[in-house]
Structure 1
């Protein structure tokens, strides 16, 4: 993305170090910078459109510092410590004339998403000061990861309200899965009469069925001739066995279906899968895949091959579908808002 990285020195990388100390060190090494935007990674629903508006407040309207806030409708009461013989007192309401929440405009609270300030303020030791302004963020975009229980909330917010990048997300329409080591655990059992047997996890079969119901084609590939195994599984998937060049097979399928690489997912586990993993728009490996395959993959399952990895990777694909739908809704909302503004 063209971003440059400033590496903090050990002096401002202590457990007790503050963001302000790190910013002051950065400015010491970058005399060309006049405005600093301190964006907190713990606020994952911040959008570029917000930052553009904040930059305008400083550059065009002459504010020295701008910080993010969110509107909350919470009634506050004074704290009474254990053992104190005191009564609690209302802080922002009159109990005799208690508002309904919908009738009360609420109050503004810092949400810690970002702090923008000019150089001269920071050099004095402030991130807020001079001619100040707040920027009110939408409540659904205002999430702060502070403790463990904030994670699941943040994950759901990102799915619905996160920023998904400039490039439009593509729905996966094809999953190609390596049979040996992904759909099965890679083990081959030989009976007394020299027949080969393999085992598989029923959860993976369910995962394949769920993908099909979502309109995603599932195709299988193997370097071995495992036709009898596939026939026994009755998966109803197109398969290529005895494949000496998996990448060629993948490219042929991609072209035949008229798909972009972003619409192709691949689940592999061996060195022979590495080039396919690099090519596919979404790639994954089981937890016990070889090191080269793990390095090439975008997602490493928690499950081993033949033990639920296919089902887990299917859930990962469904997560992308949720993001695609959310991104589409965001685009529609922005388009609708633009039309309303144009009509005024």
Structure 2
């Protein structure tokens, strides 16, 4: 019987193999609906689309960027409010309206000259799997589609839109000994 070595974190024990993958990450790619938001879409009387974003996720993203780790968004939907959120956080790589996320992913890799093994992706549904299958560290939020959960390298303890992105950001920073570097940032 093989024993799995784990590392204790504030999110519970994490397999050493996951921490080794996280230590290599130079780029985190996030889905939006169900990951950075809770997956609900609110529509105002004028037809405008509204979403809620968790400030903990925003803080984690800012910490990654401050630590020299790129962050990108690839999402199937398109919304002006997401451009605003990305700008607020300092995310310059935003791909919206992507029915084939793999194409956007490959374009991003070429643009940034990043190796797939140096990329983490966090998603929540089957549309995310083609990209997740190619990256060095694939993560699914706790409330992801049941068919996606067993395929992910890492499943967050926290649900989408509730701080799951922050959890993954913390894991990456911890694996790279950079968790203390970003104290005092604001979002």
Query: What range describes the TM-score normalised by the shorter chain of this pair?
Result: 0.7 to 0.9
Encode CA deviations 1:221-245: one digit per residue, 9 max, x unaligned: 1111113333156222120001121
Distance 1:252 1:235, change over 3 A: same
Distance 1:246 1:41, change over 3 A: closer
2:100 aligned to which of 231, 242, 245 = 245
Q: Which residue of 1 aligns with 2:126?
A: 271
Give 1:285 shift: 1.1
Distance 1:152 1:308, change over 3 A: closer
**Distance in 2 between residues matched to 1:203 and 1:304, nearest whole Å:** 12
Larger radius of gyration: 1
1:258 aligned to which of 93, 113, 119 = 113
SS at match of 1:303: coil
Q: Which residue of 1 aligns with 2:170?
A: 315
Number of corresponding residues: 169
TM-score, normalised to structure 2, is: 0.80
Where structure 2 has 5 or more consecutive residues not aligned to the other structure, the ranges are: 178-187
**Distance in 1 between residues matched to 2:165 and 2:147, nearest whole Å:** 19
**Distance in 1 between residues matched to 2:96 and 2:22, nearest whole Å:** 32
**Distance in 2 between residues matched to 1:177 and 1:169, nearest whole Å:** 15
TM-score, normalised to structure 1, is: 0.45
SS at match of 1:176: strand
**Distance in 2 between residues matched to 1:185 and 1:192, nearest whole Å:** 21
Distance 1:224 1:41, change over 3 A: closer
**Distance in 2 between residues matched to 1:265 and 1:185, nearest whole Å:** 20
In the alignment, is the contact (CA less than 8 A) between 2:38 and 2:162 conserved in 1?
Answer: yes
SS at match of 2:65: helix
Distance 1:193 1:282, change over 3 A: same
**RMSD between aligned residues:** 2.9
Matches within 5 A, 1:101-250: 152=8, 171-232=24-85, 234-237=88-91, 238-250=93-105
In the alignment, is the contact (CA less than 8 A) between 1:277 and 1:293 conserved in 2?
Answer: no
Q: Which residue of 2 aligns with 1:296?
A: 151
In the alignment, is the contact (CA less than 8 A) between 1:175 and 1:217 conserved in 2?
Answer: yes
Higher relative contact order (CA 8 A, sep 6+): 2
Where structure 1 has 5 or more consecutive residues not aligned to the other structure, the ranges are: 6-39, 46-150, 323-344
In the alignment, is the contact (CA less than 8 A) between 1:274 and 1:292 conserved in 2?
Answer: no
Give 1:170 shift: 5.8
In the alignment, is the contact (CA less than 8 A) between 2:126 and 2:147 conserved in 1?
Answer: yes
Encode CA deviations 1:283-342: one digit per residue, 9 max, x unaligned: 1111111022212211001111110000001112123324xxxxxxxxxxxxxxxxxxxx
